[in-house]
Structure 1
Amino acid sequence: MSILDYEEYPKDRILLLKEKLICRDSQIFTLLSILGEPHHYSYPSIFLYGHTATGKTYVTQTLLKIWKFPHVIVNCVECFSSRMLFEQILNQLQGHWLSPENEYSSCLKCNTLNDFALLFKQVVHEQNLHNQTVYIVLDKAEQLREMDRNLLPGFLRFQELTEENVTVIFLSEIVWEKFRPDTGCFEPLTLHFPDYSKADLQKILSHDHPPEFSADFYASYINILLGVFYTVCRDLKELRHLAALNFPKFCEPVQKGEVKEEDTHRLWRNIEPHLKKAMQTVYLREISSSQWERLQQEDKEGEHLKGLSAHAHVELPYYSKFLLIAAYLSSYNPARTDKRFFLKHHGKIKKTSFLKKHEKTSNHLLGPKPFPLDRLLAIFYSIVDSRVTPTANIFSQITSLVALQLLTLVGHDDQLDGPKYKCTASLDFIRAIARTVNFDIVRYLYDFL
């Protein structure tokens, strides 16, 4: 018997939970036991942790919505300052959403934790929520460690500060031992969301089958997909993306009438080369979904392969390509030109001061010049076409480029001013790499002005 078959819960809500939340029975029952009834006092703070795409946010949001608990869900990455965090919580409690009509302004201004506690208490009474538990859900809660030092301890015992029936739920990808502040704090209840097993992923992904195909046919496709990708990818979001991306190619022979749904072997032979090609897009996708669909429709020997000629020599992740491009620009452009090339509102720069008369020799003839790490990262964040947070993944890719001898580390590791690098790749190679990410590198090179 499923752990959700307990009779003390309303059957209609249980059936809705079963339909929406798969393979998370234990966590759901534990959360329901902690939350209790709306008028009950709940525990002051709850800490849910687990790797990305393990269902923490979705389970919490769905549970609070189905049980109709008053709640606020805030992403701490978007609210990167304490003021934004406070005002976002108060706005959601009042049903106030930022829009052009209100000039994207909050209804209440709040700067400190003390002001927030007083305003929260005021809003709770105005909205007539004081007779039931109000839940504040802080997603990506590890970001709180980078904010004011009193913020995390304050949220952990927010129920005590406000003297209201309020519970703060923290959602994080790190364990509580690394999350706990050094100064000590109130200990929350902790609940772990483990990674999905292969059987769990099979069950969850099979649940997404299109209505025009049978459930067994889609389940066999998911089984093939997991057989290829499970060893390198356990992320449910990425696997769901890959499943949706490659399914049209899998069912194409069936739609044409060439193969029956039961002929798994022939279907596998048809989809195998496309799944191998899709392995390049796991985690660090080098092309968008629309580009991938266009490539699937074009001929294998078509024009699009010309832009991917660099793959004949080396396979690089998406961000590594931009790091290599940034390294090449750092090596061959003078540092004083960075403002001209990479700052959007740089103003007018006189040509006489920008192009010095004595610089008659091409920088490409003089060879690459060393550059510091901070300059490389500044150019990288300027040219990459999406917001990227500085993580260990980015820095490890720089090390990988050094190992591939596309970058050279200059000087010793113990330099006080940080490491310096040189780009050893040729212009032809860089231009081939730049074409794969649709980046016109010539426009940013000092020698080609």
Structure 2
Amino acid sequence: MEDIIAETQQEIPCRGRQISFLASILGEDDSPLPSSLFLYGHSGTGKTLVTITLLKKLGIVTSHVNCVEFYTSRVMYETILNQLSGTVPSSNNNYTSYASCDNLGDFTRHVREIAKERGDPRMAIVLERSERLRDCDANILPVLCRLQELTQDVNIVVILCSTLPVDKFRASTGFMEPIAFHFPQYTKDELVRILVTRRVTDYSEEFYTNYVNLVLSVFYHATKSLPELKHLVQLNFKVYCEPIEKGEATDTDIKKLWRNIEPHLKKAMSSVYLREVSSSQFERMQSLVSESTTSGDLPQLQPQMKLTGTTKIELPFYSKFLLISAYLASYNPARTDRRFFMKHHGKQRKTQAMIKAKERSSNQLVGPKPFPLERLMAIFYSIIEDKVSPTANVFSQISTLVTLRLVTQIGGEDQLDAPKYKCAVPLDFIRGIARTVGFDIVRYLYDYA
């Protein structure tokens, strides 16, 4: 086991504690597996990579599926059964699956049959992006967590990988708590170490380390995802080395190299990880910019280069809803809260005077209006689906929004004077935030109702 842990830690640096924990839980040879594991953390923190690598080295029969790909539960069941049994649908077998499976009862029965056919090996089901299972039937998650029990003690473990904590998965009945383990985000030093070890270049390690530190100094606050940063490092390295290849600078002339790459990094910041354009499109845009700079024809190229607005600040889940609530409190009259945020608010008749008054003054043009903290929290609890306790964690996120200058605090310096707030972001920004959490903010705005 120690050899496997050491080998895995060498392949996947900066994840030693996570590798040791999973190896000790999974064991080796014929040791019994836990019923279920829950691995959570931000995307790009190595959850799936560490898990799949360890399972292969331990010789565990593995089914690895991404829950985003399944539009019905039947597709998920049959895909898992195919991978556990080694069945590959192809033209030779007329694209036939291991078995037709429509429900959880058939699924557990087929898993038991596969275990007997293969000599009762240790098996694992890895469900990536498992938060999608919350939208499926209510009994799927409880059954998967109890799969080892329901298959009459088949030595199988279900590993759920998610970006959400386990609190978001708890069902009302039948849910057996899995063993949860957190994968934290990489620190800046860990990211530098990983990116440098994966370099593919003839330049020295010191030169490449300086380059990686330079890129991280720009993008680290925008994203800490390893795949995103790796992509940005590889994409801009050629531009960074251009002055050296042209003979205009040496590999020790950091200032000249920085001046050359600075405009390219600023353009990349407008679309981190090219979330809105592909790599080839971004490189084509870069070449068009450089050509237009020499020819003086930039205005004609601007329509092709225009990108839609994107959020450059990564916010926690509750902070996004708090910011949306702040925007609604700033731009909706207080008298309309009952209409928008209560189920049984009664019908409101629109009079001619109300219609004319609404036409005369638009809240979007007048600007944000201050609101008290109580109104903000009332709107927040109305629009969020989950039951959130009013803990210090929630109120600290309001202070974070004020620190980031997304929300402005007015007054409150006197202990007797309660503070008021105003939202400081425009509609395009807040619509981008709302899209990330699937919230239709226009439906709740007075000007558009």
TM-score above 0.5, yes or no: yes
1:75 aligns with 2:66: yes
What's the CA shift for 1:404?
A: 7.6
Give me the TM-score of the superposition, normalised by structure 1: 0.66
CA distance in structure 2 between the aligned counterparts of 1:252 and 1:18, rounded to whole angstroms: 35
CA distance in structure 1 between the aligned counterparts of 2:90 and 2:129, rounded to whole angstroms: 24
The aligned residue for residue 42 of structure 1 is 33
**Cα gap change, 1:117 to 1:248, in 2 (>3 Å):** same
The aligned residue for residue 121 of structure 1 is 112
Alignment of 1:183-222 (within 5 A): 183-222=173-212
CA distance in structure 2 between the aligned counterparts of 1:37 and 1:270, rounded to whole angstroms: 53
**Per the alignment, in what secondary structure is the counterpart of residue 238 of structure 1?**
helix
**Cα gap change, 1:35 to 1:228, in 2 (>3 Å):** same
What's the CA shift for 1:292?
A: 2.2
Q: Residues 63 and 125 of structure 2 are in contact (CA less than 8 Å); yes or no, is this contact kept in structure 1? A: yes
CA distance in structure 1 between the aligned counterparts of 2:135 and 2:247, rounded to whole angstroms: 58
Which among 140, 144, 147 is matched to residue 136 of structure 2?
147
Over the aligned positions, Cα root-mean-square deviation in angstroms equals 3.2
Which amino acid counterpart does residue 220 of structure 2 have in structure 1? Y
**Cα gap change, 1:261 to 1:57, in 2 (>3 Å):** same
Residue identity (%): 42
Gaps of at least 5 residues in structure 2 are 312-423, 433-441
Name which of structure 1's ranges 176-185 and 294-303 shifts more when overlaid on structure 2. Answer: 294-303
The aligned residue for residue 28 of structure 1 is 19
**Cα gap change, 1:247 to 1:284, in 2 (>3 Å):** closer
Q: Residues 158 and 168 of structure 1 are in contact (CA less than 8 Å); yes or no, is this contact kept in structure 2? A: yes
1:18 aligns with 2:19: no
1:138 aligns with 2:127: yes
Can you list the C-alpha shifts for 1:285-321, whole angstroms capped at 9, x where unaligned? 3432112223333414366762425989x96239xxx
What's the CA shift for 1:401?
A: 7.0
Name which of structure 1's ranges 23-32 and 291-300 shifts more when overlaid on structure 2. Answer: 291-300
What's the CA shift for 1:104?
A: 4.1
CA distance in structure 1 between the aligned counterparts of 2:24 and 2:431, rounded to whole angstroms: 56
**Cα gap change, 1:147 to 1:65, in 2 (>3 Å):** same
**Per the alignment, in what secondary structure is the counterpart of residue 74 of structure 1?**
strand
**Per the alignment, in what secondary structure is the counterpart of residue 164 of structure 2?**
coil
Gaps of at least 5 residues in structure 1 are 1-7, 319-398, 408-416, 424-449
CA distance in structure 2 between the aligned counterparts of 1:82 and 1:105, rounded to whole angstroms: 18
1:287 aligns with 2:277: yes
What's the CA shift for 1:421?
A: 10
Q: Residues 206 and 218 of structure 1 are in contact (CA less than 8 Å); yes or no, is this contact kept in structure 2? A: yes
**Cα gap change, 1:113 to 1:305, in 2 (>3 Å):** farther
**Cα gap change, 1:144 to 1:253, in 2 (>3 Å):** same
The aligned residue for residue 316 of structure 1 is 309
The aligned residue for residue 112 of structure 1 is 103
1:9 aligns with 2:28: no
What's the CA shift for 1:58?
A: 0.8
**Cα gap change, 1:421 to 1:215, in 2 (>3 Å):** farther
Which among 230, 253, 272 is matched to residue 263 of structure 1?
253
Name which of structure 1's ranges 65-74 and 286-295 shifts more when overlaid on structure 2. Answer: 286-295
CA distance in structure 2 between the aligned counterparts of 1:166 and 1:305, rounded to whole angstroms: 62
Q: Residues 44 and 159 of structure 1 are in contact (CA less than 8 Å); yes or no, is this contact kept in structure 2? A: yes
Q: Residues 274 and 282 of structure 2 are in contact (CA less than 8 Å); yes or no, is this contact kept in structure 1? A: no
Q: Residues 309 and 428 of structure 2 are in contact (CA less than 8 Å); yes or no, is this contact kept in structure 1? A: no
**Per the alignment, in what secondary structure is the counterpart of residue 77 of structure 1?**
helix
CA distance in structure 1 between the aligned counterparts of 2:286 and 2:114, rounded to whole angstroms: 54
1:87 aligns with 2:78: yes
CA distance in structure 2 between the aligned counterparts of 1:406 and 1:159, rounded to whole angstroms: 44
1:55 aligns with 2:46: yes
What's the CA shift for 1:15?
A: 4.6
Q: Residues 250 and 270 of structure 1 are in contact (CA less than 8 Å); yes or no, is this contact kept in structure 2? A: yes
Q: Residues 30 and 122 of structure 2 are in contact (CA less than 8 Å); yes or no, is this contact kept in structure 1? A: yes
CA distance in structure 2 between the aligned counterparts of 1:296 and 1:9, rounded to whole angstroms: 48
1:178 aligns with 2:168: yes
Paired residues, number: 325
Q: Residues 9 and 15 of structure 2 are in contact (CA less than 8 Å); yes or no, is this contact kept in structure 1? A: no
What's the CA shift for 1:90?
A: 0.7
Give me the TM-score of the superposition, normalised by structure 2: 0.66
Q: Residues 38 and 69 of structure 1 are in contact (CA less than 8 Å); yes or no, is this contact kept in structure 2? A: no
Which amino acid counterpart does residue 84 of structure 1 have in structure 2? V
What's the CA shift for 1:121?
A: 0.9
